[in-house]
Amino acid sequence: MRRLRQAKIVATLGPSSATPEMIRALFDAGADVFRFNFSHGSHADHHARYQIVRQVEREVGRPIGVLADLQGPKLRIGQFAGGRAVLQAGHVFTLDRDAAPGDQHRVCLPHPELFEAIHAGQSLLIDDGKLRLQVEASQGDAIRTRVVNGGVVSDRKGVNVPDAVLPIPALTAKDRRDLDFALEMGADWIALSFVQRPEDVLEARALVAGRASILSKLEKPAALERLDEIVAVSDAIMVARGDLGVELPPECVPGTQKRILRACRQQGKPIVIATQMLESMIAAPVPTRAEVSDVASAIYDGSDAVMLSAESANGSYPLQAVTMMDRVIAEVEKDPLYRTLMQAQYAAPERNRPDAICAALRDVTGILGASATVTYTSSGHTSLRAARERPAAPILCITPQLATARRLALVWGVHSTISEAVHDERQMVSAACQAAVREGFARKGDQIAITAGMPFGQPGSTNLLRVAEVWG
């Protein structure tokens, strides 16, 4: 089952999309990767949905990616007497270590590591930024603030600290339990929440030990200070605009999104744009025009994938949301301006053989009007490098590794198929022609461009480019 588009769709599974019928329908409508959100649901819930996804994969004969999204160190205040309080602008409000119920003057902040990290002059945001506090003083057991934007606050609301790199572990005890479960379950991608520095990614990578690829979610301003380093140690990046949009001024989010996207394109790392893309479709069967423009803008910029969160997880119209996203992507990719804008993001190849081969591959497919770009890979490196070039012809990946094919489901333009390993160039050309016809990319007489690494099966050895005519 071939997609007639290059950018991919990530759909979050949840109560609205838990049945075999719905998950199959979401795949048929265009979902390439399914996200399992470990902030919600039990391990039993996730395992049941995972089994359904793999059954759909067997039915359709196409690799499907599974993304396990860890909750991360989400900060929350304690509870209030009566469940809520009203904070008045201009009044003093204290966050302390006292577990007693709070009121309009104080509340518990059950994160002792924050009291030394927060200083006068910094801001605290509560409930997705609805309330803003200005820190006046921070002692060992209390943070005194002045309420800038007041309002009603209730139990366990989230806290954001946009002005500080927080001394909190990248993986909580819950995250470690969820990570073990996700890896045992068979997740292809692990998403790390609230990444602040490259060391956060390296810590997770040591635990994952090659069993999955790592996607870093950028949702804190501190991460932007070390953006290139974080991209370098990650396998993919997500622009998580929920918390990022809380901690940054709203007017800064679009430019930040484009900056992150450019960094990923430069390093050839897949990038996912997420959060509130078709938000109104949680409750309505059609999106707003502004939401459609938001999705289209991400595609015009060359994003690898766009993601649905609550729209597909617990909204009333999950199938319509995926269908709409598929339609928007397909329409953008038909626009001649699409390729012009993507070429503006083009990153010059580095002085090595894989970059030279894949840059030539891009030129060859354009000059010849090739029907497909065929990549042979065991690790996925060749297909990733080809995708960085954004060739005019779709990328048909041939790999003997099912795990590699599943991970590449997130990557722009890559359609993966499983095949036995080839041992020489003649076998390679024959298998490429057969796969191109079988998967619907080419017909007899078409030209295809093939790239691989020799000796075959050796990761990271891309050094061969071959043009072939498809025979009958």
The residue ranges of every structural domain in the chain are: 8-72+170-338, 81-160, 353-469
Q: What is the pLDDT at residue 254? A: 95
At the top level of CATH, the class of 8-72+170-338 is alpha beta
CA–CA dist 420, 418 (Å, integer): 7
In the CATH scheme, what is the code of domain 81-160?
2.40.33.10
The residue from 145, 275, 373, 417 that is catalytic is: 275
d(CA 379, CA 459): 6
Q: Which of 5, 8, 35, 220 is catalytic?
A: 35
Is residue 165 within 8 Å of residue 222, measured between CB atoms? yes
- Please say if the pLDDT value at position 353 is more than 70: yes
pTM over 0.85: yes
- pLDDT confidence of residue 460: 63
Active site residue 35: yes
The one catalytic residue in 24, 76, 144, 177 is 76
Q: Which tens digit of pLDDT belongs to each residue from 201-255? A: 999 999 999 999 999 999 989 999 999 999 999 999 999 998 898 989 889 999 9
What would the pLDDT profile of 147-200 be if each residue is shown by its tens digit?
999 999 999 999 999 888 888 888 999 999 999 999 999 999 999 999 999 999
Fold (CATH) for 353-469: Pyruvate Kinase; Chain: A, domain 1 (3.40.1380)
pLDDT at position 133: 97
According to the model, what pLDDT value does residue 472 have?
60
User: Measured between alpha carbons, how far is 71 from 191 in angstroms, rounded to an integer?
Assistant: 9
Q: Is the pLDDT of residue 455 over 80?
A: no
Angle in degrees, 0-180, between the axes of helices 20-29 and 43-60, rounded to the nearest 10? 50
Among candidate residues 62, 157, 217, 220, the one labeled active-site is: 217
Maximum alpha-carbon separation in the chain:
79
Q: Is 217 a catalytic residue?
A: yes
pLDDT of residue 421: 82
- pLDDT at res. 457: 66
Whether 332 shows a pLDDT value over 70: the answer reads: yes
More confident residue, 267 or 165: 267
List pLDDT tens digits, range 47-85.
999 999 999 999 999 999 999 999 999 899 999 999 999
To the nearest whole number, what is the mean pLDDT of the chain? 94
Q: Is the pLDDT of residue 466 over 80?
A: yes
What number of other Cβ atoms are within 10 A of residue 348's Cβ? 8
Cis previous bond, 167, omega within 30: no
pLDDT at 347 (0 to 100): 78
- pLDDT over 90 at 471, yes or no: no
Q: Are 17 and 313 in contact (CB under 8 A)?
A: yes
Least confident of 179-183, 304-308, 357-361: 357-361
- 36: pLDDT strictly greater than 90: yes
Q: Average pLDDT, stretch 296-320? A: 97
Tokens describing residue 199: 């060391």
pLDDT score of 17 more than 90: yes
Here the tokens at position 370 are 């090739």
Query: What's the pLDDT tens digit per position in 365-396?
Result: 999 999 999 999 999 999 999 999 999 999 99
